[in-house]
Amino acid sequence: MDLVELTEYLVKSLVTDPDSVSVKEFDDEEGINIEVIVSNDDIGTVIGRGGSNANAIRTLVQAAAYTKKLPRVRINIDSKEA
């Protein structure tokens, strides 16, 4: 399972509308950037109280990247405009 699939799986397991989740990967000189777009209704659930869910997702994806000897991973979570 690659990093985008892992991120998508984790986010879709949290949201009420999994079909609205969009996950894309961008590479740059500093590492790998993963952009997660969810619906406005689900953004609070994905981020979690105090950012706990977002931090857990970032930790799991970074750990998976470390085991594959990949560079640093950044995950940006945003919501769709209604």
In the chain, DSSP finds a helix count (H) and a strand count (E) of 3, 3
DSSP conformational letter for 16? S
pLDDT tens track for 28-60: 888 899 999 999 999 999 999 999 999 999 999
How is the chain split into domains, by residue range? 3-79
Give CA–CA dist 34/37, Å, rounded.
10
CATH of the structural domain 3-79, one choice from 2.60.40.10, 3.30.300.20, 1.20.58.760, 3.40.1280.10: 3.30.300.20
- pTM of the entire structure? 0.90
Q: Where are the alpha helices (DSSP H) in the chain?
A: 3-12, 43-47, 52-67
Q: Which residue has the tokens 């706990």?
A: 52
* 8 A C-beta contact, residue 35 and residue 23: yes
